[in-house]
Chain A
Amino acid sequence: MSEAKIHVEEHRDDEASKLGMWLFIFTELLLFGGLFLVYSIYRAEYPDNFREGSLELSVTIGAVNTIALLFSSMTIAMALTAMQKNNKKLAIQMIAVTLFMALVFLVNKYFEWGHKIEAGLYPGSTLMSLLDRGHLLYFSLYFFMTGLHALHIIIGMVLLFICLFKVRNETIHNQKYVLLENSALYWHLVDLIWIFLFPLMYLIS
């Protein structure tokens, strides 16, 4: 009890941290918003090419990745609740599961990209320059958007790793978990962006 009181008196403002994180999430949404704008313009200009392009992506891999991310969003939320209820062990397990799901996503992405690159289909390749213009733009957007998204997955994983260690050595505990909360918010953002990318890239046919 007395220990908890000391922590409450520490100089910190969780409300401010959370507000800051929300504002940062706005900026991330606008960053991707620019790309969604470009996507919508070129899709309107080359609807047939975009449909053909999406046929060359594997809906199965995309769907597996979507499920992996949705599941990871659930587990990170559970980790946060576990932390609030002071169940350290469960929180660690749930963060670990989230990280595993993120890894599944990245491995899938690696094979998906690898397959395309092996076939000579990547930005700057000769095959790309021979494609129809709309086709080329579709694959440029595919690589650019999923690449930027994968970068965000990696940043999110780094954040969650930090949280994992901090929960273990108890610098994150049931009175002070704003870092975990903010990392979870960030993770939901990464998930949300994928929820839009998946239908726009894979399901338009």
Chain B
Amino acid sequence: MNTGTEKTEYVSYLDHQGKYKGIFAWIFATDHKRIGLLYLYAIMTFFFVGALLGLLMRVELIAPGQTIMKPQTYNGVFTVHGIIMIFMVVIPGLSAIFGNFFLPIQIGAKDVAFPKLNRFSWWIFMAGSALAIASQFLRNGPPDTGWTFYAPYSTTTGTNVIMATTAAFVLGFSSILTGLNFIVTIHQMRGPGMKFFNMPLFPWALYATAWIQLLATPIIGITLIMLIAERLFGIGFFDPNLGGDPLLYQHLFWIYSHPAVYVMILPAMGVISEIIPTFCQRKIYGYKAIALSSLTIAGVGFLVWGHHMYTSGMSENARWFFSLLTFIVAVPSAIKVFNWLSTMYKGSIDLKPPFLYALAFIFLFIIGGTTGLILGSVATNVQVHDTSFVVAHFHYIIFGGMGFAFFAAIHYWLPKMYGRMYNIKRANIGLIIIFIGFNLLYFPQFIIGIMGMPRRYFDYLPQFQPAQVISTIGGFILVGGLILMVYNLVAGARKGPAAPANPWSGTTLEWQVPSPPSLENFDEEPVIKQNPYDYK
């Protein structure tokens, strides 16, 4: 990087010489920014592995019957795709990468509260990922249970379930430690003058997320240990032959895994809440409402897990109650969407790639969210349960929501992270291709889902073929767009023109420091304004 023209004391975190040299300067880094980049490289790699598996499934489904793989291979592929995408990409994605990088800067801190614990979290994240990937290649074959590991099948199948669940346990531990670190950081490390309600909205979203990571993940931890003990020793908790109850497994699993959905989407909403005011040059509408709705979503999100189990055997009362709570949890999400739209009203809108990604996020998130209500109503759920309608719904939320917010975030913050700018025009073209590919891929799945196409099926009736072909074509377009986007970002980060400290005229603290930031973020103590979004 060009630091010659800067003041003598400024050295970017990328050039800083520490105790270790070469690759060890990264593996043993305690700097939150370097750890953020380590997560970025690891997670992007896993994302492409997962996307490749998804594409293989799409090719298999282009025609009824066997096309390129055997049914058992297909079962392994959709399980592995789920495990990689959920546990290794979307759950850590935004908070581990951008949370690590920008949370301390945005609240005026030099680092997270426990830098060594942060490094340890990355190590065990990599260890868990290695286990998960190993489970695919070892002797007994990849797990074939789906990423949910439902008992009793998961207690009896001969595949590598133990290794995959151990991996999920280890990854969960990493998630807990990251959450713990962030909570303590937000409580103890805020700069002078940075009150809770002076924090930008991304830290607010991370705060709510961290509480979910901390309080929900132990439940999946103990559940997976029980599952492993069930396989090893036959303790019988989930096996009806031994007096246990497979439904209990489903409850315990979703007590974690539904809140985990909010671990995925809350930081995404935080990113959007940063981008919208910056590119409208307007104070965010309803700051407190957005901040508190994150906490509301986190809180109510703990009480809705039953909506995954309407058809599994629950009392009528439990079903309508879970349905009611599911509708209630949609309210704070809608509050955010309305506030974003109100922020745009009379703003000076600048249609740069991060903002366009944010708009795409809102569009896709609304489709994903409203179809979620169709699934949340008991009567309609029974019709579409376990069909490709569900697949389409959660891909609109997870990929269209979290994924597009991730792309928005990386286009927004890349100039800050690397001090270089990508090609704007190419980024826009990439976005258009990705958007078209995405909708072609997933929208037909809503339609054939209502017509009765089951999820996780290797084969299907001929009447579903046109939609499946459109989906597969969409899949190829999507992957093409992703490759263009990543190429553009990598080229920009390596050789792009130098970016100014504040290319988007943002007001939050990360834009007040040089690009890329120095090792301790602030060469002088930051001055905190009353409101993080003070536009004139």
A-B residue pair count with CB separations less than 8 angstroms: 93
Q: Mark B93-119, 1 if CB is under 8 A from A, else 0.
A: 000000000000000000001100100
List B contacts of A124 (CB < 8 A). Answer: 232-234
Determine if B236 and A27 form an interchain contact, defined as CB atoms under 8 angstroms apart: no
- With A16-B114, A124-B233 already in contact, the answer to whether A28 and B218 are too (CB < 8 A) is yes
Number of contact residues on B: which range applies?
A: 20 to 34
Q: A32 to nearest B CB, angstroms?
A: 8
List B contacts of A141 (CB < 8 A). Answer: 235
List A contacts of B113 (CB < 8 A). Answer: 13, 16, 20
Q: Mark B206-230, 1 if CB is under 8 A from A, else 0.
A: 0000000011011101110110010
List A contacts of B22 (CB < 8 A). Answer: none
Among the stretches A53-61, A77-85, A113-121, A129-137, the one at the interface with B is: A129-137
Say whether A111 faces chain B, with CB atoms less than 8 Å apart: no
* Bound CA span A25–B225, Å: 19
Tally of A interface residues using CB under 8 Å? 34
* Bound CA span A68–B536, Å: 67
List B contacts of A30 (CB < 8 A). Answer: 215, 218-219
* Bound CA span A33–B236, Å: 19
Determine if A140 and B237 form an interchain contact, defined as CB atoms under 8 angstroms apart: yes
- Select from chain B the residue with minimum beta-carbon distance to A27: B218
Within 8 A of A (CB), among B136-190: 176, 180-181, 183-184, 187-189
Say whether B244 faces chain A, with CB atoms less than 8 Å apart: yes
Q: Which of A27, A46, A137 contacts B237 (CB 8 A)?
A: A137
Say whether A144 faces chain B, with CB atoms less than 8 Å apart: yes
Q: Mark A25-39, 1 if CB is under 8 A from B, else 0.
A: 011101111110110
* Bound CA span A16–B186, Å: 10
List B contacts of A107 (CB < 8 A). Answer: none
Determine if B242 and A136 form an interchain contact, defined as CB atoms under 8 angstroms apart: yes
Determine if A140 and B235 form an interchain contact, defined as CB atoms under 8 angstroms apart: yes
* Bound CA span A150–B176, Å: 22
* Bound CA span A38–B253, Å: 13
- Select from chain A the residue with minimum beta-carbon distance to B187: A19
Determine if B234 and A41 form an interchain contact, defined as CB atoms under 8 angstroms apart: no
Say whether A123 faces chain B, with CB atoms less than 8 Å apart: yes
List B contacts of A19 (CB < 8 A). Answer: 183-184, 187-188
Determine if A41 and B229 form an interchain contact, defined as CB atoms under 8 angstroms apart: no
List B contacts of A140 (CB < 8 A). Answer: 233, 235-237
Q: Which of B188, B215, B233, B243 contacts A46 (CB 8 A)?
A: B243
Say whether B386 faces chain A, with CB atoms less than 8 Å apart: no
List A contacts of B189 (CB < 8 A). Answer: 16
Determine if A133 and B184 form an interchain contact, defined as CB atoms under 8 angstroms apart: no
Determine if B222 and A34 form an interchain contact, defined as CB atoms under 8 angstroms apart: yes
List B contacts of A42 (CB < 8 A). Answer: 237, 243
- With A27-B218, A140-B236 already in contact, the answer to whether A13 and B188 are too (CB < 8 A) is yes
Q: A132 to nearest B CB, angstroms?
A: 8
List B contacts of A13 (CB < 8 A). Answer: 113, 188
Q: Which of B184, B214, B221, B237 contacts A38 (CB 8 A)?
A: B237
- With A34-B218, A123-B235 already in contact, the answer to whether A16 and B188 are too (CB < 8 A) is yes
Q: B314 to nearest A CB, angstroms?
A: 14
Q: Mark B367-395, 1 if CB is under 8 A from A, else 0.
A: 00000000000000000000000000000
- Select from chain B the residue with minimum beta-carbon distance to A18: B184
Determine if B235 and A144 form an interchain contact, defined as CB atoms under 8 angstroms apart: yes
Say whether A63 faces chain B, with CB atoms less than 8 Å apart: no
List A contacts of B184 (CB < 8 A). Answer: 16, 19-20, 23
- Select from chain A the residue with minimum beta-carbon distance to B173: A27
Q: Which of A15, A24, A143, A144 contacts B180 (CB 8 A)?
A: A24
- Select from chain A the residue with minimum beta-carbon distance to B185: A16
* Bound CA span A136–B215, Å: 30
- With A34-B219, A34-B223 already in contact, the answer to whether A137 and B180 are too (CB < 8 A) is no
* Bound CA span A124–B215, Å: 32
Within 8 A of B (CB), among A135-165: 136-137, 140-141, 143-144, 148
Q: A42 to nearest B CB, angstroms?
A: 8
Say whether B459 faces chain A, with CB atoms less than 8 Å apart: no
List A contacts of B183 (CB < 8 A). Answer: 19, 23
- Select from chain B the residue with minimum beta-carbon distance to A34: B222
* Bound CA span A40–B221, Å: 19
- With A20-B180, A27-B214, A144-B235 already in contact, the answer to whether A136 and B243 are too (CB < 8 A) is yes
Q: A69 to nearest B CB, angstroms?
A: 22
List A contacts of B229 (CB < 8 A). Answer: 123, 144
List B contacts of A34 (CB < 8 A). Answer: 218-219, 222-223, 226, 252
List A contacts of B181 (CB < 8 A). Answer: 20
Q: A4 to nearest B CB, angstroms?
A: 23
Q: A20 to nearest B CB, angstroms?
A: 5
List A contacts of B245 (CB < 8 A). Answer: 41
* Bound CA span A31–B243, Å: 23
Say whether B248 faces chain A, with CB atoms less than 8 Å apart: yes
* Bound CA span A159–B402, Å: 40
Known: A20-B181, A123-B235; 7 extra A-B contacts, CB below 8 A, are A16-B189, A28-B218, A31-B221, A33-B218, A134-B243, A140-B236, A140-B237
**6 cross-chain CB contacts under 8 A:** A16-B114, A34-B226, A124-B233, A124-B234, A133-B236, A137-B237
**Chain B positions near chain A (C-beta within 8 angstroms):** 113-114, 117, 176, 180-181, 183-184, 187-189, 214-215, 217-219, 221-223, 225-226, 229, 232-237, 242-245, 248, 252
9 A-B pairs with least C-beta separation? A133-B243, A123-B233, A34-B222, A140-B235, A30-B218, A31-B218, A16-B188, A124-B233, A27-B218
**Chain A positions near chain B (C-beta within 8 angstroms):** 13, 15-16, 19-20, 23-24, 26-28, 30-35, 37-38, 41-42, 46, 123-124, 128-129, 133-134, 136-137, 140-141, 143-144, 148
